[in-house]
Amino acid sequence: MVLGLDAQNQAALLKVVILGLIAAVAIGSRLFSIVRYESVIHEFDPWFNYRTTRHLVSNGFYDFWNWFDERSWYPLGRVVGGTVYPGIMVTSAVIHNILHALNFPVDIRNICVLLAPLFSAFTAVAAYLLTVEIKDSSAGLLAAAFIGVAPGYISRSVAGSYDNEGIAIFLLVFTFYLWIKALKLGSAFWGAWTALFYFYMVAAWVPFVGFMPTRTSEHMAALGIFGLLQIFAFVELVRTHLSTTQFQILFRGFIFVSFIAMFSALVFLTYSGYIAPWTGRFYSLWDTGYAKKYIPIIASVSEHQPTAWPSFFFDLEMLIFLFPAGTYLCFRELRDEHVFVILYGITASYFAGVMVRLMLTLTPIVCVTSAVALSWLLDTYLDVSTLEFLPEEQERSQNSSFDNKVPEKSGKREKHSPDKTKKGSQNSSRIPDKKKKKEYYGILGIDTRMIIGMNFIFFLWIFMWHCTWVTSTAYSSPSIVLASRGADGSNYIIDDFREAYYWLRKNTDYSAKILSWWDYGYQIAGMADRTVLVDNNTWNNTHIATVGRALASDENVAYEILRRHDVDYVLIIFGGLLGYSGDDINKFLWMIRIAEGVYPDEVKEKNFFNDRGEYRVGDEATPTMRNSIMYKMSYYNYNELFGGQATDRVRGTRLSPGKIKMHTLEEAYTTENWIVRIFKVKDLDNIGRTLEQAAGFELGKKRRRGAKKRVGGRRNKSS
Amino acid sequence: MNTSNRTTSFFLFFLVICFIILSTSITTTKAAPIPKKSKDDDNDNNKQSLISANIGAVGPLDVGASATINSDNDVNTSGGVLLVLLVGFNSHNVQAKSATGERVLVLLDDEADKALYSQFFKTLEDRKYTFSYKTASDPKVDLLAFNERAFDHVINFAPKTKNYDNKVNPAAFIDFVNRGGNILLAASSGLSETIRDFAREFDIEFDDRDTSVIDHFNYDVSDSDGKHTLLVLDDKKGGFTNNSMILSQETLEGPPILYKGIGHKIGTVPLLTRVAWITSNTAYSYETKEDQIADQDPFILGSDISLVSALQARNNARVTFVGSLELFQDSSLNSPVQKINSKESHPKSGNQAFVDDLTKWTFQEKGVLKVTARRHHLEGEEEPLETYRIKDNIVYSIEISEYTNEKWQPFNGTDVQLEVIMLDPYIRRTLTPLEIQPQNHHNSRIFESHLQLPDVYGVFTFKVNYKRPGYSYIIDMTTVAVRPFRHNEYPRFILAAYPYYAGAASMSVGFLVFSTVWIFNKDRSATKEDKKNN
């Protein structure tokens, strides 16, 4: 008796305490980014979510729902209310309002920053509940511990990573739990909860659904299953009213006719345009090369790339080899919930192989199955009760009865039985036979237990070590602030992005329009509060292609595009000085490809590859490349910084000497480490010259007199 | 109103004096010369510098952009930031007849040349301009003071000065124009390369040095040296612009004009306007040296020869090029005119009226427009919105004043157009000029249009782009967002949707009925079964 509780209550208390500790660990390990940097929103998409949340908090839900954002996608604007995933914003706003109602004046930013860690604690609890349904509570605790620290999930849920995935994974796991619960109990109560949480998940992950499920091919399968269930119920009904033979004939005929009818209806509706054909994103799930060929805008996103195999180990470590074992164990029992787990595991692992991003959906099921496998192993090897019996007599009574928690596995056990017997007999000499008799199965030898036990304690220790290390090194960088280490181990903070955005915020007109590649759209809108042309919500490919075309064109063509879109400033990312490889020159090929997709006559990718088929900067760059404003802006004044000839440290190339001249753009701001460069678009010349002439005049160059053409063409030599 | 203005003016004046004293004492530079001006003059200048200093403090990089184009949403500001702008501040107590100011810098090749143009300068002085006469080579002359324009207008009568050792060079002149200053430039046959370079920036190509426009069939009888360079411009219909803003009716109907000087050729810049040119085919431009050999073709012939051209820059600064210094001299202003082989003779040339017109236009006394207000609001309402809905009916109006006869008056144009633009113009409409309301204190006319916004959402620009030769340009832009319907703005009950309403209603009713029936049936059968079982 501890604390005056009986064994059952002690177990319950322990579970609660353990779950509480797991939740604390889950939250704690996600706080690296706050400790290292500060409480800021990370990356790109979270900035949009943060901005919309602020809008929701300050303007209310009605305004949020009907929000037309005129400060992005200039001049098209974006209907935010109808296209956004509202779940996460509403969640934060509700938390914010509750806290404020309780007189906790917490800033909305901190709520947004800490939302994902908070929900990761919930996820751990949900994973526990789900795994309890699959196996038992010890497996559940393991699953909770795994998902609490698995890097595959942490990658999207560190503090500051304010994205839909942060709450959607919790909702996903919890919905599955409720679904399995409803399935097992056949209870409408649980079914209703499932529906409710499913709705919440959809709200957090899928934009306002509307008629999508009936109008797009992706959703046809679900709709078909729904239809099939109706037919199935109908058939069951008919069966009760008819004799067997009659039913057989009717059934076959009915199946045939309904299949033909539905299929032809599907084909007809698809061709007549009622049902949208498969979208590109869907095709790219099956053919990983598809996107690169047809929809560069999808392929250009790094998280849409196929997964490299080391990243499975990086994100899941030992879970990845426990995962098949767990799936196998599910096959051995094969109840409804196990079938679900198997299906989920198999499809998720396929899709995780296709797209890096989908590693996230694989992680929960891997944690659950691995927990099942590990818990099995521990059940077998750490079952203390098997230590307390007389081995000699019990050896031959193996197949009598088992602990009801352990499923049947007679084949395997018999196979191993001689081995066990041997160990058992060895052990028998050491273990004093003193305790009462008890039926037994499993492992007897303490050495085997020790080996396996120590081994897995070591594995688990390494797993924790790895998870913490990965979280700390790989997933805790806010990516708006970079850190690097000097040779002496000192830490340098590279804060160029915020420097540039703050400059924009303080030094440009409130209505200034900023052109940049779409990656930085959300950040500019969020941090600089200026109007952008394109952002990370890539809803209008043409507009993005126009921006790509402007950046890939020479000055005169680009100037017309910039003027037409009222652009005041152009912002680019240049890593050449620092060796920051995620810069715009490295992304440039994607811009060109996307632009070529829409403007095949104006932009040609092959013009950016030199004779040897290489994409180069410096001396070997093609003329088209050199003349593009992206190239000119990137290397503008760069040679002068080095007093002659500069080296691009990302591409490892020496640049061609000489000054880069621009007449339509002028440098407005360059950050400390040259990562962000901002250029101002010049106005038309006041007195009607071309900007090239005006720039020439500024430099003291006189206009040539060659324009003088004599009427008859005769001209004396002396003059 | 006038008294309050005075008080404010004096207050500002003292502020600025303090400021100047402070700044000079701080910087401890060698007593930077403060241009001596009349009191009111100083006033105007100082106000300007104060205000621009404020702008400068806000964002040095943006001065140009924010001062020139107003694309934000602040409407209804009567002071309105205008593209047209020039110097709106002092419009009520302007002393000179110009809309922009009265400080004139006169550059001469030689101080003594001033006497040649006494009559010309006298007429300008009568129009209350204040003059600073300098030689172009004077090292102290500077167009700027404290990084502000020190003059409103420049008369450059120094075509021969080759090397400007001071701060007055082509780049400074163009900077002066970019800051809104006006230039009247007169050339002559002895044109220096510096002036030629300057003119070339405006797409005007003067012929070579020592050339003159020659017409052996069309010269004044007084031209006795046989070179036939004193031309009589009497083709008032064909050889002069008929723009009533630049040349008055009086000039066009008056006596012929005497011209002796160099010709030029104009390029394709659309901002350029030809004011006077040659119409006779017998004219050509050539050197007038003694004993010359005609070994090359002339640079320009006949009607290609331009004599006077004007350019109005995008910021409405005006620059006029005249190929003849003699045009302004007392001798030709008072000279009788008689064309060779013609009996028609005039006691006095039309030059006086012509140069008056040129200076009036160049120094912003005529054809100056400004926008005093712009408004947009929903039909039947008064308040402007930042965001309208698609297909909203709105009213757009703009108020425009014109500066004539020394005061701002309602503009009488009828062809002011409005464009509603999102990448492309969706609506282009001529605005209706309204009758003047007595309470309209802006002295401006309202141009109005009632329009329905397009069925497309996005950020639209209301743009009035009014550019007519002779008038200052108006580019007035206001951006508004046009949003789609809100979710509860759609019609509630539409006929086509009745099947869906019926579906939803029948489903609800059916569910209720079914549950009721099922609940009661269940109870009865359960009890029966129970009984059976029992």
Minimal-distance CA residue of chain B relative to A506: B59
**Structure tokens, A611:** 């004779």
Q: Please give the average per-residue pLDDT across B372-386, as a whole number.
A: 90
Name the pLDDT band for A144 (thresholds 50, 70, 90): very high
Q: Which of residues 480-539 of A touch B (CB under 8 A)?
A: 507-511
Q: Does residue A154 have a pLDDT over 50?
A: yes
Any CB–CB contact under 8 A between A72 and chain B? no
Which residues of chain B lie closer than 8 angstroms to A70, CB-CB?
387, 458-459, 481, 483
Q: Does residue B185 have a pLDDT over 90?
A: yes
pLDDT tens digits, one per residue of B390-420: 999 999 999 999 988 788 888 988 899 999 9
Going from N- to C-terminal start, the domains of chain A cover: 217-278, 495-702
Of B277, B272, B366, B356, which Cα lies nearest the Cα of B320? B272
- List the single residue in B59, B197, B201 with the smallest CB-CB distance to A687: B201
Inspect the interface and report whether the beta carbons of B68 and A708 lie closer than 8 Å: no
pLDDT tens digits, one per residue of B75-84: 333 333 333 3
Name the pLDDT band for B100 (thresholds 50, 70, 90): confident
Q: How many of the other CB atoms lie within 10 Å of CB of B1?
A: 7
> In terms of pLDDT, which residue wins out, A703 or B45?
A703
3-state secondary structure A665-703: EEEEEECCCCCEEEEEECCCCCCCCCHHHHHHHHCCCCC
Query: φ and ψ at B103, to 5 degrees?
Result: -80, 120
Any CB–CB contact under 8 A between A59 and chain B? no
Name the pLDDT band for A196 (thresholds 50, 70, 90): very high
- B283: distance to nearest CA of chain A, Å? 13
pLDDT for residue A267: 83
> In terms of pLDDT, which residue wins out, B509 or A219?
B509
pLDDT for residue A54: 92
Chain B interface disruption, residue of A62, A69, A70, most B CBs within 10 A: A70
pLDDT tens digits, one per residue of A534-584: 988 878 889 999 999 999 999 999 999 999 999 999 999 998 888 888 889
Q: Is the pTM of this model over 0.80?
A: no
- Flag the least confident range among A361-370, A431-440, B272-281, B372-381: A431-440
Could you give the CA distance from residue B2 to residue A716 in angstroms, rounded to a whole number?
Answer: 66
Task: Give A63-102 as a DSSP string.
Answer: HHHT-EETTSSTTT-EEHHHHS-HHHHHHHHHHHHHHHHT
Name the pLDDT band for A264 (thresholds 50, 70, 90): confident
pLDDT for residue A705: 55
Q: Does residue B14 have a pLDDT over 60?
A: no
Minimal-distance CA residue of chain B relative to A687: B313
DSSP symbol at A600:
T
Could you give the CA distance from residue A160 to residue A312 in angstroms, rounded to a whole number?
Answer: 24
Which residues of chain B lie closer than 8 angstroms to A79, CB-CB?
457, 483-484
Q: Does residue A171 have a pLDDT over 90?
A: yes
Name the pLDDT band for B164 (thresholds 50, 70, 90): low
Inspect the interface and report whether the beta carbons of B205 and A708 lie closer than 8 Å: yes
pLDDT for residue A392: 47
Q: What share of chain B is helix, strand, coil (3-state, %, to 5)?
A: 30, 30, 40
pLDDT for residue A688: 85
Pairing assessment for the beta strands A482-485 and A78-79 based on DSSP bridges? unpaired
Could you give the CA distance from residue B201 to residue B319 in angstroms, rounded to a whole number?
Answer: 12
Crossing angle between the packed helical segments A164-185 and A188-205, to the nearest 10 degrees: 160
Query: φ and ψ at A440, to 5 degrees?
Result: -145, 165
Domain A495-702 has CATH 3.40.50.410: no
- Flag the least confident range among A343-347, A645-649, B60-64: B60-64
Q: Does residue B89 have a pLDDT over 50?
A: no
pLDDT for residue B242: 86
Q: Does residue B175 have a pLDDT over 60?
A: yes
pLDDT tens digits, one per residue of B416-464: 999 999 989 999 999 999 887 766 666 888 999 999 999 999 999 999 9
- Flag the least confident range among A4-18, A333-347, B30-44: B30-44
Minimal-distance CA residue of chain B relative to A681: B65
pLDDT tens digits, one per residue of B257-300: 889 899 999 988 889 889 999 888 888 888 877 666 777 778 88
pLDDT for residue A367: 93
Fold of B368-483: Immunoglobulin-like (2.60.40)
pLDDT for residue B181: 92
Amino acid symbol at A330: C
Q: How many of the other CB atoms lie within 10 Å of CB of A717?
A: 6
Inspect the interface and report whether the beta carbons of B208 and A719 lie closer than 8 Å: yes
Q: Does residue A652 have a pLDDT over 90?
A: no
Which residues of chain B lie closer than 8 angstroms to A688, CB-CB?
202-203, 269-272, 311, 313-314
Inspect the interface and report whether the beta carbons of B387 and A70 lie closer than 8 Å: yes
- List the single residue in B174, B457, B486 with the smallest CB-CB distance to A687: B174
CA A171 to chain centre: 16
């250009």: which residue's tokens? A300
Name the pLDDT band for A441 (thresholds 50, 70, 90): low
Residues across chain A: 719
Q: Please give the average per-residue pLDDT across B82-89, as a whole number.
A: 40
Query: φ and ψ at A45, to 5 degrees?
Result: -55, -40
- Flag the least confident range among A135-144, A643-652, B372-381, B467-476: A643-652
Name the pLDDT band for B530 (thresholds 50, 70, 90): low
Q: Does residue A438 have a pLDDT over 70?
A: no
User: Burial letters for A254-292: b for 16+ Cβ neighbours within 10 Å, e otherwise?
Assistant: eeeeeeeeeeeebeeeeeeeebeeeeeeebbbeebebbe
pLDDT for residue A444: 67
Q: Please give the average per-residue pLDDT across B92-101, as a whole number.
A: 68
> In terms of pLDDT, which residue wins out, B190 or A507?
A507
- Provide the β-strand partners of residue B185: B156, B321
Any CB–CB contact under 8 A between A710 and chain B? yes
Inspect the interface and report whether the beta carbons of A714 and B297 lie closer than 8 Å: yes
Any CB–CB contact under 8 A between A701 and chain B? no
Which residues of chain A lie closer than 8 angstroms to B296, CB-CB?
710, 714-716, 719
Could you give the CA distance from residue A498 to residue A480 in angstroms, rounded to a whole number?
Answer: 7
- B311: distance to nearest CA of chain A, Å? 8
Name the pLDDT band for B215 (thresholds 50, 70, 90): confident
pLDDT for residue A558: 93
Inspect the interface and report whether the beta carbons of A686 and B177 lie closer than 8 Å: yes
Q: Does residue B86 have a pLDDT over 60?
A: no
Name the pLDDT band for B526 (thresholds 50, 70, 90): low
pLDDT for residue B382: 87
Any CB–CB contact under 8 A between A704 and chain B? no
Minimal-distance CA residue of chain A relative to B179: A686
pLDDT for residue A427: 43
Longest Cα separation, chain B: 146
Any CB–CB contact under 8 A between A714 and chain B? yes
DSSP symbol at A573:
E
Q: Are the C-beta atoms of A142 and A375 separated by less than 8 Å?
A: yes
Any CB–CB contact under 8 A between A210 and chain B? no
Any CB–CB contact under 8 A between A66 and chain B? yes
DSSP symbol at B339:
B
Inspect the interface and report whether the beta carbons of A507 and B487 lie closer than 8 Å: no
pLDDT for residue B513: 95
pLDDT for residue A323: 92
> In terms of pLDDT, which residue wins out, B167 or B182?
B182
Which residues of chain A lie closer than 8 angstroms to B197, CB-CB?
702-703
Distances (CA, A) of B448 to B75, B233, B397, B425, B512: 15, 44, 4, 18, 59
Could you give the CA distance from residue B19 to residue A342 in angstroms, rounded to a whole number?
Answer: 82
Name the pLDDT band for A325 (thresholds 50, 70, 90): very high
pLDDT for residue B344: 81
DSSP symbol at B162:
-
CA B497 to chain centre: 57
pLDDT for residue A710: 62
pLDDT tens digits, one per residue of B500-510: 999 999 999 99
pLDDT for residue A613: 85
Chain B interface disruption, residue of A62, A64, A68, A72, most B CBs within 10 A: A68
- List the single residue in A70, A668, A702 with the smallest CB-CB distance to B481: A70
DSSP symbol at A305:
S
Q: What share of chain A is helix, strand, coil (3-state, %, to 5)?
A: 60, 5, 30
pLDDT for residue B91: 42
Inspect the interface and report whether the beta carbons of A75 and B423 lie closer than 8 Å: yes
pLDDT for residue B26: 46
- B36: distance to nearest CA of chain A, Å? 30
Crossing angle between the packed helical segments B118-126 and B351-362, to the nearest 10 degrees: 50
**Structure tokens, B336:** 């009788």
- List the single residue in B61, B271, B296 with the smallest CB-CB distance to A687: B271
Any CB–CB contact under 8 A between A7 and chain B? no
Amino acid symbol at A624: T
Q: Please give the average per-residue pLDDT across A368-393, as a whole number.
A: 75
Inspect the interface and report whether the beta carbons of A511 and B458 lie closer than 8 Å: no
**Structure tokens, A149:** 């620290």
- Provide the β-strand partners of residue B215: B283
pLDDT for residue B207: 87
Inspect the interface and report whether the beta carbons of A688 and B300 lie closer than 8 Å: no
Name the pLDDT band for A53 (thresholds 50, 70, 90): very high
